[in-house]
Amino acid sequence: MISFLAAVLIVLGLFFFAGGSVGILRFPDFYSRLHPAGKLDTMGLLLSLTGIALYVVQDLTLSAILTALKIMLIVVFVFITSPTATHAILDAGVRAGLSPWTAPGKRGRT
């Protein structure tokens, strides 16, 4: 039963990862590519690592529980560092003077 739940979580996580990759391919410019790259990936990582931790913790031995704790530690770490990394790349783009892509009809309005 728990394995089934873990499998569902991992498949969901893979789906989010796929969305992130497709988003990176399809979005028009560098700024909007950061949206799927930085965040759909974080979400996919959260879901699939939670699934893996659930699968590992089934045994209920001490080492399995410690491993699951470590996996959740990775999730916490990524949740702190991912916005920082996204922001660092974005800042590099702003300072290099890349201008953001705007939708063709809205160029005059903003």
Partner 1 sequence: MMETFFLYAAIALSLIMVLSLYRAVFGPTVLDRMVGVNAIGSKTTVLLLLIGIIYQRVEMFVDISLAYACLNFIAVLAASRYFQKRKGLYDEGH
Partner 2 sequence: MNVENISPEHIPPVRRVRTSTLSARTRKGISFIIAFCICLATWIVLSGRFDALHLTLGVLASGVVALGAGTILISWRGLGRLPRQWLGFIGYIPWLLYQIFLANLHVLYLAFHPRMIELISPEIIHFKSRLKRPMSLFIFANSITLTPGTITVFVSITGEFAVHAIDEPSAASLPGKMEEKVARLMGE
Q: Are 56 and 92 in contact (CB under 8 A)?
A: no
- Estimate to the nearest angstrom the gap between the alpha carbon of 77 and the chain centroid: 12
* Site membership for partner 2, residue 22 (CB under 8 A): yes
Nearer to partner 1, 97 or 107 (CB): 97
* Site membership for partner 1, residue 49 (CB under 8 A): yes
Contact with partner 1 (CB under 8 A): which of 77, 100, 101, 102?
77
Buried b (16+ CB within 10 A) or exposed e, 25-47: eebeeebebbebbbbbbbbbbbb
Contact with partner 1 (CB under 8 A): which of 3, 5, 100, 101?
3
* Site membership for partner 2, residue 94 (CB under 8 A): yes
User: 69, 40, 39: which is closest to 52 by C-alpha?
Assistant: 69
Instruction: Pick what 54 binds: partner 2, partner 1, none; C-beta below 5 to 8 Å, kind-dependent.
Output: none
* Site membership for partner 2, residue 43 (CB under 8 A): yes
Shortest spacing between CB 75 and partner 2, in angstroms = 11
DSSP, residue by residue, 12-41:
HHHHHHHHHHHHHHHSSSHHHHHHIIIIIH
* Site membership for partner 2, residue 30 (CB under 8 A): no
